[in-house]
Amino acid sequence: MKKIVSRVRKAVEDYDMIKDGDKIAVGVSGGKDSLVLLAALANLSRFYPNKFTVVGLTLDMGYNLDWSKIAEFCKELGVEYIVKHTNIKEVVFDYRQEENPCSLCAKLRRGALNDLAIENGCNRVALGHHNDDVLETFLLSLFYEGRISCFSPVTYLDRTDLYSIRPLIYTREGDIRAVARRLEMPIVKSNCPADGNTKRQEIKEILATLDKSVNPGLKKRMFTAVQNGNIDGWAKTPVDFRK
């Protein structure tokens, strides 16, 4: 965990993610990424010069999952934990019956999470996108949209006056998986029918093959290309849009 906290701190400092007095909502899906992010930020808050507080927020999508072990985990971390029940699963799969549900689901979850963060006095929302997610998103945009693009480490949402931050961008998925396993984090497995059957999963498998056997070190070079490629938001001195 120390290594991950160190990488989180570097990302926070490189992209000016946290200000003094911030209240940061961590979107806790129940997966390894969000739980490791929650633990890392809770640890960082104990010694980081800019004082901030962390709250864990979970959107219950309607899959009848048990969040009690995550509530215990948050209690051990000293983090407030809030679960909000939604009908997102019903809207996406029952009403809309989307053939490609991920886009609509992500949009609904994003809006609901931001609303919940505002309701609880948070001014920043921390998302669990890690280093591999950066590369996969970059390739998804290139392959399927014909453009060079990626989400930003920090995004200002002017309609809600929220910032979304991604402190795990320097952390590899393999390291996250190892820490979650070693610390026996209470992972809640997704019951989503589309889980593991997406274009992102295809890209993940292609990248893993290329990086291991065809072109070792590819992931590291790709990430450097993202940072140096004039992609919006990846300069290390992000603009404060409220100034």
Q: Per-residue pLDDT for 142 more than 50?
A: yes
Q: Which pLDDT value is given to residue 243?
A: 38
| pLDDT at 141 > cutoff 80 | yes
Give the CA diameter of the chain.
49
For the stretch 34-38, contacts whose Cβ atoms lie closer than 8 Å and that sit 24 or more positions apart, written own/partner, are 34/128, 35/70, 35/73, 35/180, 35/185, 35/186, 35/187, 36/4, 36/128, 36/168, 36/171, 36/176, 36/179, 36/180, 36/185, 37/8, 37/126, 37/127, 37/128, 37/167, 37/168, 38/74, 38/77, 38/79
Decide if pLDDT at 197 tops 90: no
Q: What is the pLDDT of residues 206-222, one digit of tens each?
A: 888 888 876 778 898 99
Q: Are strands 124-126 and 22-27 parallel, antiparallel or unpaired?
A: parallel
240: confidence class by pLDDT, cuts 50, 70, 90? very low
pLDDT value at residue 206: 87
Predicted local confidence at residue 107, as pLDDT: 82
- Name the token pair of 204: 């993940």
Give the model confidence (pLDDT) of 57-99 as tens digits.
999 887 788 999 999 999 999 999 999 998 776 777 666 665 6
**Inter-residue contact 202 to 51 (CB < 8 Å):** no
First to last CA, the chain: 36
- Which pLDDT score, from 0 to 100, does residue 22 have? 98
pLDDT the model gives residue 96: 61
